[in-house]
Amino acid sequence: MEKKEYDAVILGGGLAGLMAANIVASAGFSVAVVSKVFPTRSHSAAAEGGIAAYIKGNSDPNDDPDFMSYDEVKGGDYLVDQDAAELLSAKSGEIVHILDAWGAPFNRQPDGRIALRYFGGQTYPRTRFVADKTGMALLHTLFEHATGFKNIDFYNEYYVLDIVKEGKDVNGLVAMEMKTMDPIYLKSRALLIAAGGLGMLYKHTTNSYINTGDGYGIALRSGVALKDPEFVQFHPTGLYPSDILISEAARAEGAILKNNKGERFMARYAPHKFDLAPRDIVSRSMTIEIREGRGFEGGYLGLDLTHLGKEYIMERLSLAYDAAKTFSGVDATEEMIPVRPAQHYFMGGIDVDITGSNHDLNGIFAAGEAACVSVHGANRLGSNSLLETLVYGRETGDSMVNFLKSHKNVESNSNVDGIINTAYSYIKRESGEHFGTLLNELRDIMWENVGIFRDEKKLEEAVRKISDLRKRSVNMYVTDKSSNYNTEVFNAFETRNMLDVAFAISSAALNRKETRGAHYRDDYPKRDDDNWMKHTLAYLGDSEIKMSYKPVNFTRWKPEPRVY
Amino acid sequence: MEEKEITVNVKKYNEKDGVFWKSYRVKADRYTQMTEVLRRIKTEQDPALSYRASCHMAVCGSCSMKINGIPSLACKTMAFKVMDEKGEINLESMDYYTEVRDLIPDVDTFYDRMYKVMPRLYADEEVIEDKEEQRMLPEEQKEVWKFQGCIYCGLCVSACPSVKEDEKFLGPAAHAKGYRYIADDRDTKREERIDMLMDSAWRCTSCYMCYEVCPQDVQPVIAIKKTRSHLDDYRGPETDVITMARKHDNAILELINDTGKIKESSLYLKTFGFGEAIKDSINMLKSGKIKYAFTKDSDVKNIDEVKKIMGDKK
């Protein structure tokens, strides 16, 4: 088997991974970026609306970083680590400056400064954007910048199987080249998991097909905790019926949600912020409207842009216009866009501190949606995911550099063969469970039982069923025995990861007996700060999820009722 | 919603069996994207079918393939819009790239073309050191963003006749990327970029295939024409192509100055010379198109005004 050695291996070629790669490579260390897709195919490209940033001298005169941190803390229903939120706000301006210096073509004001607009949950407007393809523009900027480094090697279309470790020390990972199915051992002292989210766990999601929770799965199997996995975000405006994202930018620019009576129903649920209340609130309100018979036939609501005018829509919201036109046959300048909530983001993730370091293993880091730094708490605000990938991609890159300076090589690869043998067992087996069956069952269970509204009965059933699916998955097999782009095998690997993280999500959701942010329990409809103002830590045991807790870091904001 | 059963014929390929076609019957409705059709086939009928797909909203550029012979993104193609009267749709791997497996070609040659054009901004030192804020006018941002919209899908290169014939031509996507940085005032390497791109820019035949197939409306051929307009700033070696380009530019200027028009046959003679014109006349004779060489143009009426404007330009 081929073996290559690097100072740092980065799993994931999206914004967080590439930002860290740029930082670690700038410090002179060798870096391998491993991804199951070519980097520009990463889900970061799908981010639309923008990146929140307070830029001194180019923000609302009344705004300051404290307002921004406060918005994050309140938006996250006080499960936010406030030191992490403050760091996110404090470095937001710098990050936009760096991206601008690397060539990001942000929309501009007439005087040439970077433009800004409102987004959900913001006290003052601070979202910077590149039309409504901000993620794509930033991803290309970072990727192209990274290709300028001689000490970054890209392993594109390599699927990562598992982490190599010796005791508590991380020693790289084993991946498989998708084109040839050849395994490769990428050895490194530092390992960053920046493999993105897990939308494919849910039947309805705005996420890419590739978002299969791979980073969480391999972390759990290596004894690394997921923090707050019960918090899953559902975006209010998934296009009906394809679940393609219609950006929050649409509402930020003035679009209005309407029910089948033509009412602006958000006035009843969020009398101050209306359609721009945080996403968990809007998604729940929409679900209630649909449930109570005020939706349109098929189960959707209307997003009305028509009053904005054709020219404005075309310039600011061209992607939303194109998506509605292409995928639902609706001309948004004349009709309402049909929308319904769909899974969108995972607030939980690999447990890391404010430096991006995990402490279950030595040398393991996580950033972006794969990580849980706790800047989003129980609900993420729009424009903050791009910001987090970059600010914490950079912070984590710096931590990796410090780690590499002080840690020597560990020589060992005791579990490499085991990883490869397990992987090959799916191909060798001639019969058993097919991943497609398991996957379709899983996506239904997660949507029905671990979705927008939850209760004990639904969650108990989910945990039981997922536990059963995991048992069945031990005998997964694939029909395709060929050795070029055998995508069936990779789907089976993905299914294994999805089952592991689904087990953690449903177990933690059953465990948390309160309502907070995106975690809404019909049987416990109130926030319970006395018992639940704490982070969940979920470890994968032999046949159960082991739960422990961690305090929330407070700096200055005391919990208050969350009204919008 | 009304569903119909459609037939999807896929040109499959693997090392062992070579090329073969396989048909699938799938239920779809008017909102079903071709990526969803492929997902249904894979999860319900043929798990061994291999294709690339990621964002399903036309921003990641993964699912490039030929649909009924037309280079397309599968996600941006609705099944009902492309099926024929019998409800059939044909899927094939993109042209030009080497086949590896089913609908997955090896697109490394595409990426190599992109890497060749220094696809990154080289900002001023003052900016990098955070001593100065960059400004960019909204019009300039629009121009840059227009050509930055490329999603690396590779469709334009697969459709381009010039890349197949001329290995020195960088191809449409790389030119869009290259021009995007020429148009960006924040970049410090404009001269170097012009020198790097100019020879290749004049190897395009302006057939507009890239313009037709681009799913993002990037219009690479327009980027190529805009790059050509920097010919006077070119400082690289005088290649045959550059010599031809200069003759072409001068001929256009002369023709407009003298006649107020671009007279195609005269332009051709002045650009390529008599020898080349004879060769091509024979080709035109053979294909029955020689008559177009003798099409009589009407004269421009106020030629003095044209000369005045041209004089001002000079």
What is the three-class DSSP state of A22?
A: helix
- Amino acid (one-letter) located at A550: K
Flag if B50 and A487 touch (Cβ within 8 Å).
yes
If asked whether residues B225 and B150 sit together in one domain, one would say: yes
If asked whether residues B113 and B209 sit together in one domain, one would say: yes
Helices and strands in chain A: count of H runs, count of E runs: 17, 22
- For A132-152, the pLDDT digits (tens) are 899 999 999 999 999 999 999
Cross-chain CB nearest to B130 (options A97, A326, A486): A97
Report the 3 state secondary structure along A437-499: HHHHHHHHHHHHHCCCCECHHHHHHHHHHHHHHHHHHCCEECCCCCCCCCHHHHHHHHHHHHH
Flag if B121 and A101 touch (Cβ within 8 Å).
yes
Rounded to the nearest 10 degrees, what angle do helices B190-201 and B172-182 cross at?
150
CATH classification at residue B148: 1.10.1060.10
Which chain B residues are Cβ-neighbours of A327 within 8 angstroms? Answer: 31, 33, 57, 78
If asked whether residues B281 and B295 sit together in one domain, one would say: yes
Which chain A residues are Cβ-neighbours of B16 within 8 angstroms? Answer: 482
If asked whether residues B112 and B225 sit together in one domain, one would say: yes
Tell me, yes or no, if A299 comes closer than 8 A to chain B by beta carbon.
no
- The gap from C-alpha A21 to its chain's centroid, in whole angstroms, comes to 19
Terminal-to-terminal C-alpha distance of chain B? 65
Closest CA to A113 of A57, A75, A169: A57
Closest CA to A54 of A38, A69, A36, A32: A69
Flag if A327 and B127 touch (Cβ within 8 Å).
no
Sheet holding A371-372, edge to edge: A371-372, A349-351, A226-227, A534-540, A545-551
- Containing domain of residue B162, as a range? 108-233
| CA B312 to each of CA A468, B257, B307, B309: distance values in angstroms, whole numbers, following the listed order | 82, 11, 8, 5
When the candidates are 1.20.58.100, 3.30.450.20, 1.10.150.20, 2.60.40.10, the CATH number that belongs to A416-530 is 1.20.58.100
Query: Which residues of A form the catalytic set?
Result: 279
- Residue B36 Ramachandran class (φ > 0 left, ψ -120 to 50 alpha, else beta): alpha
ipTM of the complex model: 0.94
If asked whether residues B179 and B128 sit together in one domain, one would say: yes
If asked whether residues B185 and B154 sit together in one domain, one would say: yes
- Give the gap in angstroms from C-alpha B86 to the nearest C-alpha of chain A: 23
Tell me, yes or no, if B187 comes closer than 8 A to chain A by beta carbon.
yes
Angstrom distance (rounded) from CA B2 to CA A548: 50
CATH classification at residue B38: 3.10.20.30
Beta strands at A256-258 and A301-304: parallel, antiparallel or unpaired: antiparallel
Q: Domain end: B102, B120, B146, which one?
A: B102
Angstrom distance (rounded) from CA A161 to CA B137: 47
Tell me, yes or no, if B47 comes closer than 8 A to chain A by beta carbon.
yes
Two structure tokens written together for A274: 């209306």
Burial A104-137, CB ≥16 within 10 A → b, else e: bbbbbeeeebbbbbbbbbbebbbbbbbbbbbbbb
Instruction: Fill in the DSSP letter of residue A533.
Output: -
What are the residue ranges in chain B where pLDDT is below 50? none
pLDDT at residue B266 in the model? 87
Q: Domain end: B102, B117, B134, which one?
A: B102
Residue from A59, A327, A483, A486 whose CB has the most chain B CBs within 10 Å, to mutate: A327
Cross-chain CB nearest to A131 (options B15, B121, B145): B145
If asked whether residues B158 and B56 sit together in one domain, one would say: no
- Give the gap in angstroms from C-alpha B144 to the nearest C-alpha of chain A: 7
Angstrom distance (rounded) from CA A111 to CA A467: 59
Give the domain ranges of chain A: 2-231+353-406, 236-340, 416-530
Angstrom distance (rounded) from CA A238 to CA A131: 19
- Which CATH number is A236-340 given? 3.90.700.10
- Give the gap in angstroms from C-alpha A542 to the nearest C-alpha of chain B: 29
- Which CATH number is A2-231+353-406 given? 3.50.50.60
Cross-chain CB nearest to A103 (options B120, B135, B137): B120
In a domain, B275, yes or no: yes
In a domain, B185, yes or no: yes
Domain count of the fold of chain B? 3
Residue from A326, A442, A491 whose CB has the most chain B CBs within 10 Å, to mutate: A326
If asked whether residues B131 and B229 sit together in one domain, one would say: yes
If asked whether residues B122 and B214 sit together in one domain, one would say: yes
In a domain, B238, yes or no: no
CB A71 within 8 A of CB A381: yes
Tell me, yes or no, if B253 comes closer than 8 A to chain A by beta carbon.
no
Tell me, yes or no, if B115 comes closer than 8 A to chain A by beta carbon.
yes
Tell me, yes or no, if A145 comes closer than 8 A to chain B by beta carbon.
yes
Cross-chain CB nearest to A102 (options B52, B121, B145): B121
Flag if B60 and A42 touch (Cβ within 8 Å).
yes
Task: Quickly tell me which residue has 């227009």 as its tokens.
Answer: B146
Two structure tokens written together for A28: 């002179």
If asked whether residues B174 and B89 sit together in one domain, one would say: no
Q: Domain end: B233, B259, B293, which one?
A: B233
Tell me, yes or no, if B33 comes closer than 8 A to chain A by beta carbon.
yes
If asked whether residues B93 and B120 sit together in one domain, one would say: no
If asked whether residues B151 and B199 sit together in one domain, one would say: yes
Tell me, yes or no, if B82 comes closer than 8 A to chain A by beta carbon.
no
Closest CA to A370 of A503, A496, A224, A215: A215
Element (H, E) at B13: strand B4-14
Which residue in chain B is spatially nearest to A438 when comparing CA positions?
Answer: B43
- Give the gap in angstroms from C-alpha B151 to the nearest C-alpha of chain A: 8
| pTM of the entire predicted model | 0.95
- For B43-101, the pLDDT digits (tens) are 889 999 999 999 999 999 999 999 999 999 999 999 999 999 999 999 999 999 999 99
What are the residue ranges in chain A where pLDDT is below 50? none
My answer on whether omega of the bond before A278 falls inside 30° of 0, hence cis, is no
Flag if B133 and A482 touch (Cβ within 8 Å).
no
